[in-house]
Structure 1
Amino acid sequence: MKWIYVLAGIALSLKILLTSNFIVADESTLEIVQAVIQESGVPNAVSGIILRNRLYDTIFEVVVFSIAIFGVNYLLANEKPSPQVRQFNDPPSIVLARLGATIAALVGVELAIRGHLSPGGGFAAGVAGGTAIGLIAITSSMEVMQSIYKRWHTATWEKISVLIFIGLSILTLGGIELPYGEFGTLLSGGILPILNILVAIKVALGSWAVILLFIRYRGLL
């Protein structure tokens, strides 16, 4: 069986080396990209498509993520809490995990704020934020994480971010938009930067809820 994996890896490597990865975009494709950039008012055409041209689908993607969180809560509700939680105890691992959490959190903020100008966006920012929370969770006590989650009413803020996102999206789909501002600047793109930040908050806080559930009921991330 190992030889099969080795041969498959060699075949994949040869395919990557021998196959050209350069794709030449024709004129019609470039015109479509330019049209998306012009209509959305942001240089990141992907954000323009996700949060404007394909906003109807993005609304349901956010809703599906919310349903997934409810599903995890429902499926684990009948299980007994784990008597033991496995976490990092040695100081080097704790320092490295919290350093990684700091970096991931900063990257998440950057992706959320500048996602309409460069590669990034709300979903990527939320994943980075969730990663930061996960790294903190495996180095901190369950009680501390749970108390912070309840103290700041995180579940409520998560739901509020979803409702605001849906409300602003409906207004955008109805033709009500904010001024685009100066192209290429931080305060440009109209409603797109706000939608990016709302999605980032939703995904990060939702990830926090799922992480706490798995720690409580499974004892292991």
Structure 2
Amino acid sequence: MKWLYIIAGIALYVKMLVIPNPAPDLSISIVESVVQDSGVPNAVSGIIFRNRLYDTIFEVVVFTIAILGANFLLANERPSCTIYQFTDQPSIVLARLGATIAALVGIELAIRGHLSPGGGFAAGVAGGTAIGLIAITSSSEWMQGIYKRWHAATWEKVSVLVFIVLAVITLAGVELPHGELGALVSGGVLPLLNILVAIKVALGSWAVILVFIRYRGLL
């Protein structure tokens, strides 16, 4: 069996040397084709939320499973008695200023990610960063209380379900009107998918932050 693998590897190597790759058709711009098909200037968003939407669906599902796994693996541990946080006033002010900037950047990326560099995942990371900076400067009980009061866990699950439903509808060939290229309301369903991913990643990050603070005492 080992010799069979060796022969197959040699044959594949010879094939790559002997048979040339087909020359690409340079008369067609792939970026222009993606922009035209998706209706958004940001070709990366067009690829993620349209051309490779299958991949994006499973990326969201994998992120959800990772959050569930963190909760499951740490559920049987004893909560940490010591919470490590910033205590000096200058660090607290700087952290909360950074949280404000990160939150504003996250909102901008979520709303305009289909028009400029950015998108749902980047917006969610920015939102999670803002929540993390607030968490290391505030009471863990206060953070947990806000998380429960605003039903963040429920909103996270709803965003995943709505994203999957919209993705399935899009994959079935049903699309909203693209609108005017470059306008804020354009690209059909792509801006909605951007916002849903941003909500999912930000709220999921919040859940993981609370778990690690409770059972590890630090992020």
Q: TM-score, normalised by structure 1?
A: 0.87
Q: CA deviation at 1:28?
A: 2.6
Superposed structure 1 runs of 4+ greater than 6 Å apart: none
1:43 aligns with 2:41: yes
Q: Which residue of 2 aligns with 1:127?
A: 125
**2:213 matched residue in structure 1:** 215
Deviations 1:13-69 (A, max 9, x none): xxxxxxxxxxxxx97386111110000000100000000000011000000000000
Identical amino acids, percent of aligned pairs: 79
Distance 1:27 1:184, change over 3 A: farther
Aligned to 2:92: 94
Match of residue 114 from structure 1? 112
1:61 matched to 2:59? The reply is yes
Query: What's 2:142 paired with?
Result: 144
SS of structure 2 residue aligned to 1:96: helix
Q: Please name the residue that 1:181 is paired with.
A: 179
Name which one, 1 or 2, has greater alpha-carbon Rg. Answer: 2
In the other structure, the counterpart of 2:72 is 74
Query: Which amino acid in the other structure matches residue 138 of structure 1?
Result: I
Structure 1 unmatched runs, 5+: 1-25
Q: Deviations over 1:83-119 (max 9, x none)?
A: 0101001100000000000000000000000000000
Write the distance in 2 (CA, Å) between the matches of 1:212 and 1:29.
53
CA distance in 1, matches of 2:129, 2:138: 14
**Residue type of the alignment partner of 2:105:** V
Quote the Cα distance in structure 2 between the aligned partners of 1:27 and 1:126: 37
C-alpha distance 29-56 of structure 1, shift in aligned 2 (>3 A): farther
Give SS of 1:210's match: helix
The aligned amino acid for 1:217 is Y
Q: What's the TM-score once normalised by structure 2's chain length?
A: 0.88
What stretches of structure 2 of length at least 5 have no aligned partner? 1-23
SS in 2 for 1:28: coil
Q: Who is 1:190 aligned against? A: 188
CA deviation digits over 1:110-137, x for unaligned, max 9? 0000000000000000000000000000
- Report the equivalent of 1:3: none
**Structure 2 residue 82 is the aligned partner of structure 1 residue 84:** yes
Classify 1:163/1:29 alpha carbon distance in 2 versus 1 (closer, same or farther; 3 Å).
farther
